[in-house]
Amino acid sequence: MKICFIMYPWEGIKAKQDSTIRLVHECARRGHDVAITTPQNLTIRDSITLSDCRTIITHQKISKSITKFYQSVKFENGMRELKGFDVIFMRDNPPLDPFVLNFLDSVKDEAFIVNAVNGLREANNKIYTAAYYDPEKEIIPITHVSKNIDYLLRIIQQSDQDKMIMKPLDGYGGRGVIVIEKSAKDNIRSLLEFYINKSKGESNYVILQEYVEGAENGDVRVLMLNGKPIGALRRKPAKGDIRSNISAGGSVEQYKLTKKDRVLCDTIGKKLVKDGIYFAGLDIISGKLIEINVLSPGTIVDINKLNNVKLQVDIIDFLEKVVAENEIKKGNFISKDIYEN
């Protein structure tokens, strides 16, 4: 299998905690042709989409230790055509540069892209979750997306709740997530102006979401592969912080999915696969879906440690199965039954 990871810079990886390096390591361990690159290295020459890649040299000893692998692995550098890869795995940090998808459009019929170009186009920001059709409000908390300050002020004033959650539309890792309290009404307009008008010359969308009871105790992260949950954990916020993201200082503990969680995962999982989102992270609070992370969901390391598993094995097994099916059915890209197993 030839696989290219379009990711954040290799030099900045913290090997002990990074999820992507575990996927890269698993591919290298199996002897696959593994290349890494960044969005900045994508280019088109003579109508061919290429990237300046670092390809792991084959026939070298691959250490079982992730840290030693990171420190010792050897690469060769060179331009490679993206259509020559069986799999392209998007692992860059949000927000997504939309031009990257334009590059991938040219090879989406040649390679299996995780996640699919159209899926990433639809789901790379929080509107994807906010716009999910849920008239009974059983799955998604009441959510508003706008950059109209007066409208958002009315929403806050009309809410039956004393507090709501506000966050930027394209944030990640818990950045910018705050609690809006009605008791601080004199400060709310100023906060909205700061969030919406902080970029010179343009305004930004924000999300207002009903405060889900239990949020103060953290959330549940579920990793979804091919529409099914493959691992989960509970994230608990640091003292004095609403955010439970690990990158924001949160801690983790074991978690077993409830029946309600599994119903939610099954419902959302079908939509994810339909939209070409094969690997994603769901954030759940009290049985409500708060966010879907589709670009570079983490927590593989922590779920592995808590449950003595290796989720990267399941993920690469899936990719190998897709590629094998593609080899069997040339020209009829991927048989549907792969996604239904």
Residue numbers of the domain that contains 165: 142-210
DSSP state of 134: -
49 and 106 inside one domain: yes
196 and 220 inside one domain: no
Helix (H) or strand (E) holding 324: helix 311-328
Q: What is the CATH number for 190?
A: 3.30.1490.20
255 and 229 inside one domain: yes
18 and 84 inside one domain: yes
Does 70 score more than 80 pLDDT?
yes
Match 């449950």 to its residue by tokens. 307
In a domain, 122, yes or no: no
Name 199's Cβ contacts closer than 8 Å, sequence gap at least 6.
Answer: none
Domain stop point among 161, 187, 210: 210
pLDDT value, residue 94: 85
At residue 243 the predicted structure's pLDDT band, cuts being 50, 70 and 90, is low
Q: Are 2 and 73 in contact (CB under 8 A)?
A: no
Domain stop point among 184, 210, 236: 210
11 and 103 inside one domain: yes
Q: How many domains does the chain have?
A: 3
6 and 105 inside one domain: yes
Bridge partners of residue 283, in order along the sequence: 221, 291
In a domain, 318, yes or no: no
φ, ψ of residue 169 in degrees (nearest 5): -65, -35
What is the overall mean pLDDT for the chain? 90
Percent of the chain with pLDDT over 90: 70
187 and 222 inside one domain: no
Instruction: Kindly report, residue by residue over 286-341, the tens digit of the pLDDT.
Output: 999 999 999 999 999 999 999 999 999 999 999 999 999 988 876 654 444 455 54
- Smallest Cα–Cα separation from 93: which of 50, 118, 130, 124? 124
Percent of the chain with pLDDT over 70: 91
Q: What is the pTM of this model?
A: 0.88
CA–CA distances in Å: residue 14 to residues 21, 255, 272, 297, 298: 9, 25, 29, 15, 13
At residue 249 the predicted structure's pLDDT band, cuts being 50, 70 and 90, is low
In a domain, 252, yes or no: yes
The strand pair at 251-254 and 279-285 is best described as unpaired
Q: What is the CATH number for 268?
A: 3.30.470.20
Q: What is the CATH number for 35?
A: 3.40.50.20
In a domain, 327, yes or no: no
φ, ψ of residue 230 in degrees (nearest 5): -115, -10
For residues 28-35, give the mean pLDDT: 98
Task: Report the interhelical angle of 311-328 vs 20-29 (nearest 10°).
Answer: 60
Name 259's Cβ contacts closer than 8 Å, sequence gap at least 6.
Answer: none
